[in-house]
Structure 1
Amino acid sequence: MEDLPHHLILDILGRLPDSADVARFRAASRTLNAAARGVTSVALLCSLARYLRSRSPDTRSLVVPFKSLVASAVLGWGAVESVAIGVDASFADSFEDMEDDESGDDMYLMEVGFLAGWLPRVCEGLRALSISDFWVQSCWRRSDVLALVSSCCRSLCELELKNAWLSVDGLNPLPSLTSLTLEFIRLDDENLSKLCTCFSLLQVLNLRGVGGLKEPKIHLPDLRSCQWTVSNVPISLAIYAPRLVKLRLKCIKPRSLVLETPALSDFDLSIVQADDLQVKDLISLKSLKLDSPFLCNLITAFPSGKTVEKLTLNTEFNRDVQEMISLELLFKTFPNASSLTLGPGAWSRLWPSPGGWEDGAEMKSLQGIVACMVVSHIDVVQAFIASMMDKCTNLSDFTILVQQQHADSDLLSNLTKRCTADWPRLKWKFGVFKKATEAYGFTGGWDIVWQRQTFKGAR
């Protein structure tokens, strides 16, 4: 590695996820040490193994306290543009075994006293800061880290804070900040008014599992991308963002949901229901995903989707549910959709009633369908495909994903043969899906286990 050009060595060292590895390279040779001086990012994660060694009577004296390691690493690094510190993700599976550490603060990384010891000394060139705290020690201590950061880090562009209780007391305007991520946070700003006022030029906002909100309103004129997973049941939700392009919103049952986002192009909404849904005309909307146990009601309440080209629908899969999704309603609401993806619950709700689908229901713009099917009989699949083919006359691509528990080799083989024989002009894909390990929506997402390459049916 020493024989590589200086700029390549610097690039390799800059990509290492843990600065402890960079330190080892620096100690290995003068060449690597010289090159490492150009690395401007510090990243230190406390592993579960390190944490356990620091707690064991046999090894604790041999382990440098993590907070001391962070401070010395940051201050000894030289020019620093990015700092990322935290606990490893493996800690999340062991919290129950760490309750005895609640009274300690050796892993409380958003302690202002600890941060004040080094942050003001490197803040001038700092562009990005990420802190993932140790929830056992941070959840019951309110931190003033936002006040400290906003007062000294005047050039900060990206801020990420996880697993903490945050105060907004003393928060100052920080016009340089364009990206903010808060994850598993208890926030003392129930309406988000202080946050939006002081971070008014945000372009990216991610709020994942942020609690303490009552009637939150996001009012950010420059916001472009937003991911908001609401952890509790606020009275209302509102987003006023004239330049917002991408929105991923998950909420439960707010009394009202207000969206004034005219530039929105990509919208992913997962919601149980809202008594009052106010969505102003989305004249730029191209991609829409709706996930709800009451999908039919949500479609009814949704404004006209004439601009939507890519549509994804999902709802609960329940064989006993009688309410069906009207195909005519779907086609009238989204008449220009060229791509339709149906989750495991949505495809079954599109079954024709005993009287058949409405004669006038037709979607000539639709070119591709992806259907996740919970079936064990080929005849069921064929009937569904035939119904869709009858109403979608310009369809050219069809993907069928069968639930893993029903996807035996005979079923898939016979399904492939029948579909390609009955509808030879279509391009077919066949695959298997399973329930997502981390489902974003209430009705459950899905992961593709495998999928065959596209091919055209034999004529």
Structure 2
Amino acid sequence: MATTHLEDLPSHLLVEILSRVADSGDLACCRLASRTLFSLSRFVSSASVSLRPASASPIPFKSRVLHLVSLLSASLLSLSLSTEPGRAADSDDDEGEWFDEADDLHLTSVDFLSTWLPLVCESLKELSIADCWSQSCFRRSGALSLISVLCNKLLKLEVRKAWLSVNGLKPMLRLTSLTLVYIRLDDEDLEKINECFPNLQFLSLMDVGGLKTPHIQLSHLKTFFWRVSNAPLSLSVHAPHLTELHLSCIEPKFLTLETPRLALLDLMISVPSGDIKLGHFQNLINLRFNSWDYMRLFKNLNGGHSVKTLELGVPDGEASTELEPSVIMIEDLVDLFCGLEELKLVGAARHSILGGLEDIKLCLKRLVIKVEKSNLYDFGAISEVLKLCTPCEVALLLPGDMESAAAKKDVVDKYARKFPEFRWK
């Protein structure tokens, strides 16, 4: 059998392989391995550098970053820097305890960014920085302002675990994607973000603290993930072209959604006791409510007749003995969601729907029920739900840690024998 050498691979494949070499020292070694790799290394357009144990890389992290950027300055389009060793950039785990504290890991420091960002700012399209929270939490950074001044062609920006300022922020008209995770913002609102990033189509704000009355007003926004970490007085979203919204909060006093084109609304409000205005939804198809009071949310919902898929769940971390899901009468559900095709019930939500005096049933195509390991054979509770539905397909979501596929099949078979009029999966 003929032997295939590395140099025999297509050039584009070799460039892809080199793009996955995160460490500047390793990349330098690859370049010296052959003339082919040396010549192709200048075409590497994507690089990712993550923290390593001191034993694995004696070179300080910031020095490695500067070396790599200098090496690829002519071709670099996408760069990811992370102080989270051996993890993807979206990990929320704490940093390891093994790194050398003498190595300054404050990646959003303006002084550090100024050493390498000018080398690639003219061509950089994507930038991701996951800072070291133990070193960045007490040092306010003007990183956003510097990036906005230098990186005029940036399309996608992601910053994690940092204390950021928006003072001096300049408009970035090409930026279409912004992700801020575990970020401290001292500003009381997001007006500067709205003003300087007007063309955002994707926005993710996850555990962004320090906001009291945040207001999102972005006319081009299409997808929005927002997990509110503190308890602001009010939340409002004005986005006329938004089609997908995932909003998680505790108990806002005021919530306003002016998002008429939503197709997917994923809303988690533990206790919706404040003033809630969900606006009018013209094209809402997928609706997910995670709350202890569904009916309060339903009463504020305009445009539920177009909903095809409805998912009901209860918040994690709450004791069901202290808070019980609000009761939903079957006739209210049928009236609110006359076009419903699929209903998904998670946890205690399956106990919240009750039959009325009239013989009214849900005409579904599919019923999905999530079953906990402690209640695998809760035939009584399942039976109460099935009584409210005409025969349809029923899917059981079983615990992922079950021993085998055969064990899962055994559970489904038992339900199928108990309720043969339904189609079980």
With normalisation by structure 1, the TM-score equals 0.81
CA distance in 2, matches of 1:82, 1:403: 38
- Aligned residue type for 2:58: V
Q: CA deviation at 1:378?
A: 8.0
- Aligned residue type for 2:351: S
Q: CA deviation at 1:150?
A: 0.6
Q: CA deviation at 1:100?
A: 9.8
Q: Which runs of 5+ in 2 are unaligned?
A: 1-5
Q: Which residue does the alignment assign to 2:394?
A: 398
Q: CA distance change for structure 1 residues 182 and 334 in 2, over 3 Å: closer, same or farther?
A: same
CA distance in 1, matches of 2:47, 2:96: 30
Q: Which residue does the alignment assign to 1:362?
A: 361
- Aligned residue type for 1:300: K
| Cα-to-partner distance string for 1:277-319 (whole Å, 9 max, x where unaligned) | 1011111111111101223433333334111111110026736
Q: CA distance change for structure 1 residues 201 and 94 in 2, over 3 Å: closer, same or farther?
A: closer
CA distance in 2, matches of 1:413, 1:182: 42
1:76 maps onto 2:81 in alignment? no
Q: Which runs of 5+ in 1 are unaligned?
A: 55-61, 430-459
CA distance in 1, matches of 2:96, 2:350: 41
Q: CA distance change for structure 1 residues 293 and 390 in 2, over 3 Å: closer, same or farther?
A: closer
Residues 176-191 of structure 1: pairs in structure 2 closer than 5 A: 176-191=174-189
CA distance in 2, matches of 1:194, 1:380: 52
Which of 25, 30, 37 lines up with 1:32 in the alignment?
A: 37
| Cα-to-partner distance string for 1:101-126 (whole Å, 9 max, x where unaligned) | 4xx67111111111111111211111
1:112 maps onto 2:115 in alignment? no
1:43 maps onto 2:38 in alignment? no
Q: CA distance change for structure 1 residues 198 and 336 in 2, over 3 Å: closer, same or farther?
A: same
Q: Which residue does the alignment assign to 1:268?
A: 266
CA distance in 1, matches of 2:149, 2:136: 22
Which of 205, 208, 221 lines up with 1:223 in the alignment?
A: 221
3-state DSSP class of the match of 1:31?
helix
| Cα-to-partner distance string for 1:224-255 (whole Å, 9 max, x where unaligned) | 11100111000000000000011111111110
Contact 1:299 1:330 in 2 (8 A): no
3-state DSSP class of the match of 2:158?
strand
Q: CA distance change for structure 1 residues 328 and 319 in 2, over 3 Å: closer, same or farther?
A: farther
* Structural RMSD (CA): 3.0
Q: CA distance change for structure 1 residues 20 and 179 in 2, over 3 Å: closer, same or farther?
A: farther
| Cα-to-partner distance string for 1:109-160 (whole Å, 9 max, x where unaligned) | 1111111111112111111111111111111000001110111111111110
| Cα-to-partner distance string for 1:247-287 (whole Å, 9 max, x where unaligned) | 11111111011000011111111112341110111111111
Contact 2:394 2:423 in 1 (8 A): yes
Contact 2:283 2:306 in 1 (8 A): yes
CA distance in 2, matches of 1:115, 1:375: 50
Residues 372-451 of structure 1: pairs in structure 2 closer than 5 A: 372-374=370-372, 380-381=378-379, 383-393=380-390, 395-402=391-398, 416-424=412-420, 426-429=422-425
3-state DSSP class of the match of 2:289?
strand
Contact 1:99 1:136 in 2 (8 A): no
Q: CA deviation at 1:20?
A: 5.3
3-state DSSP class of the match of 1:206?
strand
CA distance in 2, matches of 1:404, 1:125: 44
Q: CA deviation at 1:380?
A: 4.4
- Aligned residue type for 1:400: L
3-state DSSP class of the match of 2:105?
coil
CA distance in 1, matches of 2:346, 2:278: 24
Q: CA distance change for structure 1 residues 31 and 246 in 2, over 3 Å: closer, same or farther?
A: same
Q: CA deviation at 1:34?
A: 1.7
CA distance in 2, matches of 1:229, 1:83: 26
Q: CA deviation at 1:407?
A: 9.6
CA distance in 2, matches of 1:81, 1:165: 26
1:64 maps onto 2:62 in alignment? no
Which of 205, 208, 230 lines up with 2:206 in the alignment?
A: 208
Contact 1:226 1:248 in 2 (8 A): yes
CA distance in 1, matches of 2:147, 2:299: 45
Contact 1:273 1:298 in 2 (8 A): no
3-state DSSP class of the match of 1:211?
coil
1:2 maps onto 2:2 in alignment? no
Contact 1:179 1:205 in 2 (8 A): yes
Identity over aligned pairs, percent: 37
Residues 280-429 of structure 1: pairs in structure 2 closer than 5 A: 280-315=279-314, 318=320, 321=324, 323-350=326-353, 352=354, 357-364=356-363, 366-374=364-372, 380-381=378-379, 383-393=380-390, 395-402=391-398, 416-424=412-420, 426-429=422-425
Q: CA deviation at 1:377?
A: 7.2
Contact 1:202 1:222 in 2 (8 A): yes
Which of 1, 14, 25 lines up with 2:19 in the alignment?
A: 14
- Aligned residue type for 2:159: L
Q: Which moved more, 1:84-93 or 1:223-232?
A: 84-93
CA distance in 2, matches of 1:147, 1:157: 16
Q: CA distance change for structure 1 residues 273 and 302 in 2, over 3 Å: closer, same or farther?
A: farther
1:159 maps onto 2:146 in alignment? no
- Aligned residue type for 1:152: L
Contact 2:278 2:300 in 1 (8 A): no
Q: CA distance change for structure 1 residues 174 and 93 in 2, over 3 Å: closer, same or farther?
A: closer
Contact 1:215 1:234 in 2 (8 A): yes
Q: CA deviation at 1:19?
A: 5.6
Q: Which moved more, 1:371-380 or 1:145-154?
A: 371-380
Q: Which residue does the alignment assign to 2:254?
A: 256
- Aligned residue type for 1:347: R
- Aligned residue type for 1:421: R
- Aligned residue type for 1:222: H
Contact 2:131 2:162 in 1 (8 A): yes
Q: CA distance change for structure 1 residues 348 and 405 in 2, over 3 Å: closer, same or farther?
A: farther
Q: Which moved more, 1:339-348 or 1:420-429?
A: 420-429
Total equivalences in the alignment:
410
Q: CA deviation at 1:205?
A: 0.5
